Amino acid sequence: MTLALAIHGGCGTLPKAEMTEAEWAQARSDLASALRAGWAILSKGGAAVDAVEAAVRVMEDSPHFNAGHGAAFNTEGEHELDASIMDGATLAAGAICGAKRIRNPITAAKALMLRGDPLLLAGPAADDFAEHEGVDTVANEHFSTERRRKNLASMKLREIVGTAAEASEAEKHGTVGAVACDAQGHLAAATSTGGYTNKPVGRVGDSPIIGAGTYARDGRCAVSGTGKGEYFIRYCVGHEIASLIAYKGLSLKAATDAVLAELSEHKVGAGLVAVGADGSIVAPYNTEGMYRGWVTEDGLIHVATHDHVELAGQA
């Protein structure tokens, strides 16, 4: 089988002028580190589900992405974290939402997947489960960054003056995710997010919803999405792409393009990464940019934030 690994760090990429070149370089470096972490598992014959967890953990620990450390603030100035993971070989999945103390939500989601039941835990129950399983927990302040504080202040001001709808994707959203195909041909997907800036307390988006922001099924595809979660839930984006492949015989590219086109009709900022049963990779988006990257069959790392894709060395 063709090994495959692709990641995204959210379609809410800042305009180029809003960060220094050094900051952009660090963001691309963190993307490359995430790819190396996942590829190290795949290249040794490891499972796709372990690879996507490893890649997402790296992005959760980076301040450049809206997941884990660097997550968005809700309207009360707190972080509520969502994540899910799915094994395409068995359709096993685990998800947590509204967590406030889990350092790496994707690891808690995977622990829940391995437990088998329930599939989804919310709020304090998710935090307690993680603690019981020995997954690292931290104070809520661990996830805070100065950039996210500025985003919150900006969105609160926009709300007062009535321009919230005009906010950029970078001000509002952001998510991280990974998809993979391993040497046995098994697929997996994982997604993690802090939601959108100034979200209502208790809001849950698509990232922890299996079939919406995360979906993997052997023989079809693995998908991780980013954008306005409410629309990803309404369109069951991950499952829709898999269904177009299975029932209409569309290619991975045709299926993802079709679904993204529907989201674009609603002027919804959206993007995703997906891998097909044959190891093919796509990373479409309709915003100014999307943090993204993938490893090609020769082990070369490709990363991008906007239009230009650059080589980042060997995995």
- Known catalytic residues are 175
Question: Could you tell me how far CA 270 lies from the centroid of its own chain?
Answer: 12
Q: How far is CA 176 from CA 132, 182, 195, 291, in A?
A: 25, 20, 11, 9
Bin 227: left if φ > 0, else alpha if -120 < ψ < 50, else beta: left
Q: At CA 142, angle to CA 136 and CA 145, rounded to 5?
A: 145
218 close to 186: Cβ distance less than 8 angstroms? yes
Q: How far apart, in whole angstroms, are the C-alpha atoms of residue 191 and residue 243? A: 20
CA atoms within 13 A on the CB side of 155: 24
- Give the helix ranges, DSSP H, for the chain: 21-42, 48-60, 105-115, 123-133, 146-161, 169-172, 229-234, 237-248, 252-265
Angle in degrees, 0-180, between the axes of helices 48-60 and 21-42, rounded to the nearest 10: 160
Query: Do the strands 92-99 and 120-122 form a parallel or antiparallel pair, or are they unpaired?
Result: parallel
